Amino acid sequence: MNTKKVYPKAILNWPEADRPREKLLKNGEHTLSNSELLAILLRTGVQGQSAMDMAREIMQKFKTFRNLSHTDISHWKGIKGLGEAKIAQIKAAIEIGRRFREDELKEEKIKIKSSQDVVDILMPRMRDLRKEVFKAVLLDSQNSIIDIIEIAEGTVNQAVPIIREIFQKALQYFTSSIICVHNHPSGSLVPSTEDKNFTRDLVQAGRVLQVSVLDHIIIGDNNHYSFGDNGLI
């Protein structure tokens, strides 16, 4: 027997127990499907299509929240009723989730024991960035995270201002050591000549300022390259 529920399009006309927002408030957000969570963000549908219908169509097209976060807006065309405002809401919500996890790890005073520890923290946010972004993980004398700072977007061709900003923050937080991380939007992990020169200059500046540079990590697409692991620091 077919037990599939058939409702009027508008979610407001659904039984209260089946509405995503009411389900979340009653049972918790963990009980909702991806489509239901997305429908809450969308808030409203369009004529002939509920927010839930739109959410299902979006998830069917993009499959994962990660794909939603890094796919160019041009790829969203063709989904009825999905304008820039709704796209912005979705992307903002996903970014909040990423930052929440990063902030949570900082508050836990995570102790860094290897390059993989840093990669596990920063990979989810940095692997999909379309521009090069530099981050510095600031560590105390026990290698516990003091803070993770983001340097303005740039490239290793702008090494001097990037290095200056990293160490300004490091000294401000009385940092004992740092790990620098930047992404390659191309996904390639091969260090360029500029990457190598940047790492050399970073280490030299650290020696002068008595802040140890433990590593420089390049983030690609679900993989990474560590100068420290490869004996280059």
Q: Determine phi and psi for 59, rounding to 5 degrees.
A: -65, -35
Structural element, H or E, at residue 146: strand 145-151
Residue 5's pLDDT is what? 54
**Structural domain count of the chain:** 2
CATH of the domain at 132: 3.40.140.10
Q: Which domain holds residue 59?
A: 11-100
168 assigned to some structural domain? yes
233 assigned to some structural domain? no
The answer to whether residues 82 and 140 belong to one domain is no
The alpha carbon torsion through 173, 129, 217, 119 (nearest 10 deg) reads 80
At 211, the amino acid letter reads V
pLDDT at 9 over 60: no
Q: How confident is the model at residue 1 (pLDDT cuts 50, 70, 90)?
A: very low
> Strand, helix or coil at 84?
helix
- Each residue's pLDDT tens digit, 152-198: 666 666 677 888 999 999 999 999 999 999 999 888 899 999 999 99
CB 218 within 8 A of CB 186: no
Summarize the confidence of residues 139-143 as an average pLDDT. Answer: 94
The answer to whether residues 114 and 222 belong to one domain is yes
Share of the chain above pLDDT 90, in %: 33
CB 184 within 8 A of CB 222: no
Enter the pTM of the model. 0.64
Which is higher by pLDDT, 81 or 202? 202
